[in-house]
Chains A and B, each alone.
Chain A
Amino acid sequence: QSVLTQPPSVSGAPGQRVTISCTGSSSNIGATYDVHWYQQLPGTAPKLLIYGNNNRPSGVPDRFSGSKSGTSASLAISGLQAEDEADYYCQSYDSRLSGVVFGGGTKLTVL
């Protein structure tokens, strides 16, 4: 059972917009700790996609965006492309556990 809760799967057709939620609690996201998002393509290591709630590292397309409110955060992907098919993980810090915490991951399927 992950500390941060994500939907196991989401799907969308090419060109559509999808969102992935990440729900935490008062000891992590709600405690104003930043949320970060990672993309893991099949058979590869995770890659940083969004940092500090809504910032993109160099090279990440602006189709990817993040937001945070209260004890939850969201990753939005617009203009869905086949290459976006991957697992997506949210991550924050938990003061009660004194460590980094991840969401359980969401598998994005491009129909």
Chain B
Amino acid sequence: EVQLLESGGGLVQPGGSLRLSCAASGFIFGSYAMTWVRQAPGKGLEWVSDISSSGGGTYYADSVKGRFTISRDNSKNMLYLQMNSLRADDTAVYYCAKPFDIVSTEPLGPWGQGTLVTVSS
């Protein structure tokens, strides 16, 4: 069974940093691209970032480009999101998600349970 478990969320001040982690199991992690999606409280879904299976290709939404960095460690089955220069509008539940099939980055499924990031002073 595929499992994705996010961690690392919490309360951080504006301008601060946070590193999210996603522990993957139940599939050959190194064969799949991976994605981060966020959801602000009471709002819709927003794609944040993708990373290729090898980690050599990374892609970002304009809203986080230059501030967030996606990475992965295939030897540990781990996905990461380093978030710097955090702003209030980065407050959201952050989900990691696996592509439904191996050949593309989408559609997404399954998803982890999410980790809440709150940016506030």
B-binding residues in A (CB < 8 A): 2, 34, 36, 38, 44-48, 51-52, 57, 89, 91, 93, 97-105
Contact = CB atoms under 8 A, between A and B. Distances in A.
Given A89-B45, A100-B47, A102-B44, A48 B62 contact: no
A1 B76 CA distance: 38
6 contacts: A44-B113, A51-B107, A89-B44, A91-B106, A100-B105, A100-B106
Given A46-B37, A48-B109, A51-B109, 9 more contacts: A46-B45, A46-B95, A47-B109, A48-B107, A48-B110, A51-B100, A91-B106, A100-B35, A105-B45
Interface centre among B46, B107, B113, by most A CB within 10 Å?
A: B107
Interface string B77-95: 0000000000000000001
Interface string B31-61: 0000101000000111100100000000111
Interface residues of B, number: 23
Contacts of B100: 48, 51, 57
Interface of B: 35, 37, 44-47, 50, 59-62, 95, 100, 105-114
Nearest to B47: A100
Contacts of B47: 99-102
Contact of B106 (A2, A36, A46, A47): A36
Nearest to A2: B44
Contacts of A93: 106
A99 B111 contact: no
Contacts of B60: 99
B44 A45 contact: no
Contacts of B111: 45-47
Contact of B95 (A45, A100, A101): A45
A46 B107 CA distance: 12
Given A46-B95, A100-B35, A36 B45 contact: no
Contact of A103 (B37, B44, B61): B44
A65 to B, nearest CB: 16
